[in-house]
A and B are shown apart, each in its own frame.
Chain A
Amino acid sequence: MRSNAEQAKSWGLYVDDQDEWADLFYYSIDDLHSVPAEDLDHIAIRGLRERFEYLKPRLLMLGKLADEQGVTEILDVNDAAKLLFQHSIYKSYPVSFVEKSQFDRLTKWLSGFTTADLSGLNFDGVETIDDWIMMLDAETSVRVLHSGGTSGKLSFLPRGTAETDLMIQGWRLLHEGAGPDLPPMDEVPVIFPAYRTGAFAQQRMFNRMVETVFGGDQSMLVALNEGRMSADALSLGGRLQLAAQKGELGEVRLSPALIARRDEYVRSMTEAPTRMSDFIDAVAKSLAGRPVAMLAWVGQLYDLAQAGLDRGLSNIFASNSNIMFGGGWKGRTPPENWEAVITGFLGVDKIRDGYGMTECIASARSCEHGHYHIYPFQIPFVLDPLTGEPYPREGEQTGRFGVFDLGATTYWGGFLTGDKVTVSYEPCPCGRTTPMVLANSISRYSEAEGGDDKINCAGAPEAHDNALAFLMASVEN
């Protein structure tokens, strides 16, 4: 298991040798899913205690939550259920900070969620969210992740450099789980049908992989769009909705910096249709027959595969390729033959989806029986959706899903999602010992039931396009 840590170091990734819990990320996937149940409990309780004791005095927001909930120590794993952050907390800043470019105030808000020192920063020239994120990248150890903003406001999660490097171990686990005869991950190019750069979790991870795992070889990451996905463009649609509620006061003032980038946005938009076909042609040509890795949202993957088949392309890649997808269909009805379209185009025998969220450093891939096994470094909670009380950690439990990610060392790893799931602590016929989110048990609580947008980027490509369409129209006017 340490060999993975040694390899990570050799790539230049940060490895904390002292941290027992982060160390779990370097195990092989088979080892992780063979940990006996009693050891899982042991990891959970000790890990939670240690994280809580360390982070409570260092994270303002955690301290406040613990005080409010009257939690002074964690005696039982379920005690931590009271300390899961609602997803709404990462967008609890006033949106006027963004509208009025008050990024010093936004930073102050963010500093309550991270152990990083965000004082003494220079905000000269920081006018947009993109400016702000890039300034934090350059000046601090915080690597902000943001959501798709479909609800009208972007969530900001202050992941640090340490956890960003751990994300690559999350990718390694998916890679290992894809099949035994796949070459090591540093030899397998990644296809990512989205913007190459930006502050979505996957963009952070893949770009860090290019820098380290791929030794700076940009060609190992094949993106649909070479540009940067703009958080400002994404947030614009949401800000417009909010602005409309504010009457004339809310008339959107497009910052000069945003307008200055207009040409780039507009070009990226008008080129979209050809870009997709160019992309298909390019990967078919350069990567044909090779094992590849790919991460996509299922609806997008289907569209891509269908477009490829329409161009007469099929069975493009090696059959042992690592194809990972998730994200649901976003209101579309899945075509009956969707799976055959995707496998037929890609040339793989079958595809298995995953379950993950920006808040978690690693995502889970479904097992042979369709269940999503939870890594030992992620502690699941199932809560009564009405009372918020945690259900017992045994048998099968259905309710609101919460998770604590022991990989988080600079921010609080506990999150409450808006997902309704069934978690089973019973043995799985696949033989893995870890608890699992059962196949086909995941749905969203409606807003009325307390569901909302978790930090999720699945709806984002569309939101981005809508925002760009608005930007074009507003500038033309």
Chain B
Amino acid sequence: MTQYKVPLIIRGKVIEDYEAQFGGRDGATELVTPSVGKYMSELALTRPSAMSDLYAISFEEILDYLEQLGTRLHLAENSYVQDALDLSLRTSGLSEGILRDCYANLHKIFGKEQWRQTVDRTIGIDHVEGWVEHAIGNGGRAAIRAFGARSVHVIAGNVPQVAAITIARNAVTRGDAIIKTPSNDPLTASAIARTMIDMAPDHPITRHLSVAYWKGGTETVEERLYRPANIEKIIAWGGFASITHISKYLQPGIDLITLDPKLSSTILGRETFADEATMRAAAALAALDVGVYNQEACSNARVIYVESGTDQDGIDKANAFGAMLNEEIRALPPHFSGPAVRMDPALENEMNALRLSSEWHKIYGGGREGAVVVSQMDEPVDFAKLLANRVANVVPVDDLEIPVRAVTAYTQTIGIYPESLKAQLRDRLSIHGAQRIVSLGGSGMPVFTGPQDAIEPMRRMCKWIIDESRPESYLKQVLVKEDEGEMA
């Protein structure tokens, strides 16, 4: 049993009286943290006036801060980041090659120009920097500004970037963030926070970030923290259990923003089967969508519908495609995708059962390297929601109506090939529930300036305040009887 210390960080202060123990996700790792409940009065920011220091700095200064932070996060030089990588190697579902690549590139997330562009596209820099006025008729004017909020971020740990992006988002929106870290990535957020403290201990951005680990659902913490006096928003990534815990505390005054778990799929039109070279090219792109982040992300391809037809010729084509896809998944380079770190036993059970008993499915590959199940009929496997460990299910269909109608509120990304098919399908896919439509192969490259899970989290993270100005003469018109007054 290896023990890892996970400090509690409260607004520039590192607390290290470790007394609470938790098992890590791998069973051989133990986490020790300070008892969060003991520090609740400090953790909760009960005085909103404490936010005012964030308004003494300009947006440009915030960008400079992030840029400088990035330069200090290089894996080779930053021992906190090295520790985070070390622990992630034990707790993450990502293989070593991917994790090393993620941490080696962590610093790039804080690029100045990237965040300037992101804020400009998602919120509008002028709204972050000051009051933006516009006329509202009858001589009136409205001024609108986006203010930061006091928020708890319950983040996901499937990829370490989530912690970094959360910290940057909080900075550019001038929020006060309490990050509740997940057990599969307990250290990345605190590694960045500690780097911030070393770099600029008294800077407002440093002083408005807290990082804590507690076991989701711990009432002694959550009951006291999730109150409107302490926080205005909860930004929750993560599964059903995590949202269920939180929903107990929802009440007027707390805005819940969910970035909930989703599943993604793929639609390949009949053009895919024009010739062997086209099939091979599509298989290579589909392998990217299956393999990126070891299929740990919600954007990964799982069920792949192919418009091959379901007659014998169509099934043969689907099988040939499945074989190619399996080869392409195995050929992915280790910094991008690797064999399963931990096999999911429930999925393994289902795969073993299918391998033995079903003549309605063909399996290419298997084991830690991944596999492709080709349905020999136009139905995905019943355990499609378990697909992971680089296992994809190719489903032949006669008609693209089937994949369109299979989209649900739990669908996130849909990779499509060929490109021309996207414009044809995207309205209907969206109406059914799809949230992101990408070129085949692009599921792992999200556009940071765009929406996420069908909402705009950057805008939602802000409090949108309006200052309405009306001339006195107009205000008094309400005193005049309606038929005498002009229409507003």
Residues of A within 8 A of B (CB): 61, 64-65, 68, 86-89, 91-96, 105, 108-109, 112-113, 152-153, 242, 244-250, 447-450, 452
A86 and B352 contact, CB distance less than 8 A? yes
Contact of A246 among B352, B354, B359, B408 (CB under 8 A): B408
Q: Is the CB of A95 within 8 A of B382?
A: yes
Please, which residues of chain A bring their CB within 8 A of the CB of B357?
A: 61, 64, 89, 92-93, 109, 112-113
* Minimum CB–CB distance for A310 against chain B, Å: 34
Q: Are A88's CB and B352's CB within 8 A? A: yes
B349, B354, B359, B407: which has the most chain A beta carbons within 10 Å?
A: B349
B408 touches A245 (CB 8 A): yes
Q: Beyond A88-B352, A249-B406, is A109–B358 a contact (Cβ under 8 Å)?
A: yes
Binding site for A on B (CB under 8 A): 344-346, 348-350, 352-360, 377, 379, 381-382, 384-385, 402, 405-408, 410-411, 432-433
> CB-CB < 8 A to A447: which residues of B?
345-346
Q: How far is the CB of A448 from chain B (nearest CB, A)?
A: 7
Sample (25) of A-B pairs whose CB atoms are under 8 Å apart: A86-B349, A86-B352, A86-B353, A89-B353, A92-B356, A94-B358, A94-B360, A94-B379, A105-B360, A108-B359, A109-B357, A109-B358, A245-B384, A246-B406, A246-B408, A249-B402, A249-B406, A250-B406, A447-B345, A447-B346, A448-B345, A449-B345, A450-B348, A450-B349, A452-B346
| Residue of B385, B405, B432 touching A245 (CB-CB under 8 A) | B385
In addition to A95-B382, A450-B348, 5 A-B residue pairs with Cβ atoms within 8 Å of each other are A87-B349, A94-B358, A94-B360, A246-B406, A449-B345
With both chains docked as a complex, state the minimum distance between the C-beta of B395 and any C-beta of chain A, in angstroms. Answer: 11
Q: Which residues of B contact A448 (CB under 8 A)?
A: 344-346
| Chain A hits for B381, CB < 8 A | 94
- Complex Cα gap A437–B384 (Å): 36
Shortest distance between the CB of A404 and any CB in chain B (Å): 17
With A248-B405, A249-B402 in contact, is A94–B377 under 8 Å at CB? yes
Question: Once the chains bind, are A245 and B410 in contact (CB under 8 Å)?
Answer: yes
Q: Is the CB of A89 within 8 A of B356?
A: yes
B354 near A92 with CB under 8 A, answer yes
B182 CB to nearest A CB, Å: 16
**A249 → B minimal CB distance (Å):** 4
Q: Are the CB atoms of A247 and B382 closer together than 8 Å?
A: no
Most A Cβ at <10 Å: residue of B348, B357, B411: B357
Given A61-B356, A244-B408, A247-B407, A96 and B379 contact (CB-CB distance below 8 Å): yes
- Count of A-B residue pairs with CB < 8 Å: 79
Query: B387 to nearest A CB, angstroms?
Result: 12
Chain A residues contacting B410 (CB-CB under 8 Å) are 245
Which B-chain residue is minimally distant from A109 (CB atoms)?
B357
Note all chain A residues with C-beta closer than 8 A to B384.
245
**A68 touching B350, Cβ below 8 Å:** no
In the complex formed, the residue of A with least CB distance to B375 is A94
With the chains together, A86 CA to B385 CA distance in Å?
A: 20
Contact A68 B356 (CB under 8 A): yes
Query: What's the minimum C-beta distance from B143 to chain A, rounded to whole angstroms?
Result: 44
Interface centre among B358, B382, B411 (most CB of A within 10 A): B382
For A89, the closest partner residue in chain B by CB is: B353
Give CA–CA (A333, B353) in the complex, Å: 34
Do A452 and B379 form a contact, CB below 8 Å, given A92-B357, A247-B433?
no
Q: Which single residue of chain B is at the shortest CB-CB distance from A250?
A: B406
**A448–B357 CA distance with the chains assembled, in angstroms:** 23
Determine the distance from Cα of A64 to Cα of B433 in the docked complex, in whole angstroms: 41
Residues in chain B near residue A112, CB distance under 8 A: 357
List of A residues within 8 angstroms of B355 by Cβ: 68
The CA of A87 and the CA of B349, in the complex, are separated in Å by: 8
Name, among B381, B384, B405, the residue most crowded by chain A CB atoms within 10 Å (CB to CB).
Answer: B405
Given contacts A96-B379, A450-B346, A452-B349, contact A248 B432 (CB under 8 A): yes
With A245-B410, A246-B408, A247-B407 already in contact, the answer to whether A88 and B353 are too (CB < 8 A) is yes
- Which residues on the B side are within 8 Å of A96 (C-beta)? 377, 379
**Top 5 closest pairs, chain A to chain B, by CB:** A450-B345, A92-B353, A247-B408, A89-B353, A88-B353
Residue with the highest number of chain B CB atoms closer than 10 Å, among A64, A96, A112, A452: A96
- Complex formed: what's the CA distance from A88 to B349 in Å? 6
- Which residue in chain B gives the minimum CB-CB distance to A99? B379
Q: Note all chain B residues with C-beta closer than 8 A to A65.
A: 356
- Shortest distance in angstroms between B363's beta carbon and chain A's nearest beta carbon? 12
On whether the beta carbons of A249 and B354 are closer than 8 Å, the reply is: no
Q: Please state if A247 and B405 are interface contacts (CB–CB under 8 Å).
A: yes
Q: With the chains together, A64 CA to B402 CA distance in Å?
A: 33
In the complex, what residues of A have CB within 8 A of residue B406's CB?
246-250
Cβ B408 vs Cβ A64 within 8 A: no
A4→B418 CA distance, assembly (Å): 72
Docked CA distance A113–B350 (Å) = 17
B432 touches A247 (CB 8 A): yes
Minimum CB–CB distance for B432 against chain A, Å:
6
What chain B residues lie within 8 Å of A94 (beta carbons)? 358, 360, 377, 379, 381-382
B402: A residues at CB distance < 8 A: 249
Bound complex: CA A65 to CA B354 (Å): 11
Give the CA-CA distance A248 to B344 in the complex, in Å. 29
List residues of chain A with CB within 8 A of the CB of B359.
108
Tell me the complex Cα distance, A247–B377, Å.
18
B385 to chain A: which residues have CB within 8 Å?
245
A88 vs B410: C-alpha distance in the bound complex, in angstroms? Answer: 25
Q: How many Å lie between the Cα of A242 and that of B49 in the bound state? A: 50
Give the distance in Å from the alpha carbon of A242 to the alpha carbon of B383 in the complex.
Answer: 9
Give the docked Cα–Cα distance between A91 and B432 (Å): 30
State how many angstroms separate the Cβ of A453 from the closest Cβ of chain B. Answer: 11
Q: How far is the CA of A113 from the CA of B353 in the complex (A)?
A: 12
Within the complex, the shortest CB–CB distance from A361 to chain B, in Å, comes to: 22
Once the chains bind, are A242 and B382 in contact (CB under 8 Å)? yes
Residues of A within 8 A of B354 (CB): 92
B345 nearest CB neighbor, chain A only = A450
Kindly identify which residue among A92, A153, A250, A450 contacts B358, using a CB–CB cutoff of 8 Å.
Answer: A92
